[in-house]
Amino acid sequence: MSNKTTSALGNLDEVEKIGWNKERVTNLLVRNSMVFVLLLVIGYFSFKNAGFLTLPNLRTILIASAPFALITLGQTVVILTGGIDLSVGSVIALATMTSAKFVVTHPDQFWLAIGLGILVGLIAGIINGVVIAYLNVTPFVTTLGMLTIASGLAYAIGNGAPINGLPERWGNIANTKFFGFQSPVFVMIAGFIIIGIVMTRTSFGLRIYAVGGNRVAAEVAGVNSRRILIYVYAISGTLAGLSGVILSSRVISGPPNLGSGYELSAIAAVVIGGASLMGGRGTIWGSFLGLLLIQTLNNGLDILIIPAYWQQVISGVLIISAVTVDMWATRRSSK
């Protein structure tokens, strides 16, 4: 082989190596895009306001994130199956009103009131799952119907008015502090760790991904897709019920509209975190980053005194951008 040929082959190897390295860098940037975006947002707000990157404000962001964390987790496992749960906001309200009504009339049955609120969420989730799995009604229609039902029941429990007069002990659920942080922050962290382990280290998590990736293929492989669907909607409903108990504890009352619009924030966090609305792709870590990004953005815009309507515009642009990046990454990986 001549020296020219050897040199040409060497140059070709160098070109291929450079291309491979660019491919790796691009893939790394795409996979961790939310981390970089979050760091950029933090850097920008820190530059604009010296009070942003301080421990008290970081504590504020975490506390604000906590109520959304549980329903974001539930929404994540649902979206991973290719579904969606629009009912969680109203289920929060229904759980809130149910537990508040019970604890006002039975103040000595503190733990039973908590369990009742969670049970309400579980029942709503199971109903969603059964209708979707066995009656083949689309998740959008099913959960939209449950949204309306739960909202109506929440108002009916209080005759259209908030329930007040909850015992002071009820406020201890969400307002007790540990190491300077309110208890919901620790519930949020524990929730992400537990669900994260379940999704990555257990066969149940793998089955959820399988159903979302290809339900027919999953069933051929022996996965009971109907049972999985019931389970994920039950999880979503249960977490919404627990979130309702925590939120009612924070305000020590039972507003019938508590949780209104929360489902949209949860869906936004999951989508921004990189989950596909078609199912089968997404991570708990990504949803956590999406949640933190939304709350960090809202906090920073509040500090800069940006009107709420412009905050909604920015959030909408962020969601569209996240979905666009996700679609681009999907097309790129399929080539």
User: Could you report the per-residue pLDDT of 47-106, keeping only the tens digit for each?
Assistant: 888 888 888 888 888 888 888 899 999 999 999 999 999 999 999 999 999 999 999 998
Residue with tokens 């999880």: 235
Q: Which domain holds residue 175?
A: 59-302+310-318
Identity of the amino acid at 90: S
Tell me how far apart the alpha carbons of residues 263 and 269 are, in angstroms, rounded to a whole number: 10
Residue 106 in domain:
yes
pLDDT one-digit tens code per residue, 114-157: 999 999 999 999 999 999 999 999 999 999 999 999 999 999 99
Residue 295 in domain:
yes
Give the DSSP per-residue string, 38-79.
HHHHHHHHHHH-TTSSSHHHHHHHHHHHHHHHHHHHHHHHHH
Residue 52 in domain:
no
Residue 12 in domain:
no
Residue 239 in domain:
yes
Residue 24 in domain:
no
φ, ψ (nearest 5 deg) of residue 85: -125, 100
pTM of the model: 0.86
Domain harbouring 204, CATH code? 1.10.3470
Number of domains in the chain: 1
Among candidate residues 56, 329, 81, the one with its CA nearest the CA of residue 225: 81
Least confident of 34-48, 80-94, 186-200, 222-236: 34-48
Residue 43 in domain:
no
Alpha-carbon torsion (200, 203, 204, 208), positive or negative: positive
Least confident of 109-113, 256-260, 293-297, 329-333: 329-333
User: How long is the chain?
Assistant: 335
Residue 37 in domain:
no
108 pLDDT higher than 50: yes
pLDDT one-digit tens code per residue, 264-314: 889 988 988 888 888 888 899 989 988 998 888 888 888 888 888 887 888
